Amino acid sequence: MHKFVIALMILVFQLPIFAQQANDPDKIDFDGLTLTVCEAQGRKFEIKVNGSTATVKAEPYEDFGGVTLCFNRDEFEMVEAFATYEFGVKQYLFDEKPPAELDFSRELGPVALEVELGAISLPHTLSNEQKMESVHERLGFGSFIELEREFQNNYLEEIAKDSITKQKEFFSYQLKENRKQLEECCPEYIEQAETFLGKDPSSFRSFRDLGVGVFRKKSTIEIRAEATDGTIRTFKIIDSN
């Protein structure tokens, strides 16, 4: 009993230490710059640093956008940060099937990020976050729909070629190889496939007609830091979906 009490006391004293370690904020340790991931709302990230470049991976259904990167401003004369965003297009097919990514992608930026009082603020990239600036706002769009419309106006023809090709391949295969299963489980998919294959390619005049949507593929954050000794260095953080 005496040994049990001692062991229990040791465990109790260690618990705050374990809790503190579990709640420690993520850090990005470059040679010459340490960034602490502040205001992450409890999110944790997998961070890998290779020289002056760091890659960040969020947990499933989470995102690196919307966090604040804190640094010791007493060590620097000036810190600037810029973001470039790569967008891709997803093709939606059957409801229960995950969307397929098309080959198309475009970058927007770079745009300056807010750097103030030792903190770099990253715009959020998830549409369900409404408390802070979003990526589309930082890029100068009033809404994500407006950004998507810009892609539609400029790249519809290019995206449509890939979209129609992929849908033809997918729906033709489903009707040939899986018709029997579809008849039993979901005949509406047969109707969807036959309707698409019966359309003239010229009838697809919008992203809605094609069943596609724009999404953010990657964010690249470039940080330029001038130390108090005059040394200027550049660092990159790459955040991919």
Which secondary structure element, helix H or strand E, spans residue 74, and what is its range?
A: none
CA distance 43 to 52: 24
What domain range includes position 74? Answer: 2-240
Give Cα separations from 48 to 2, 44, 208, 224 (angstroms).
46, 13, 38, 19
Segments of the chain with pLDDT less than 70? 1-25, 126-132, 241
SS3 of 18, please?
Answer: helix
**The predicted structure's pLDDT at residue 8:** 42
Q: What is the pLDDT of residue 230?
A: 94
As to burial, measured by CB atoms within 10 angstroms (0-12 exposed, 13-18 middle, 19+ buried), residue 110 is middle
Closest CA to 162 of 212, 106, 223, 122: 212
Residue 23 pLDDT: 46
For residue 222, the number of C-alpha atoms closer than 13 Å in the C-beta half-sphere is 11
pLDDT of residue 22: 39
Domain count of the chain? 1
Q: pTM for this structure?
A: 0.83
39 in Cβ contact with 68 (< 8 Å) = yes
CA atoms in the 13 A half-sphere facing the CB of 49: 13
Over residues 175-197, the pLDDT tens digits come to 999 999 999 999 999 999 999 99
Q: Are 37 and 46 in contact (CB under 8 A)?
A: no
Q: Which residue intervals of 82-186 are DSSP H helices?
A: 135-138, 144-177, 179-185
Check: CB of residue 233 under 8 Å from CB of residue 52. yes
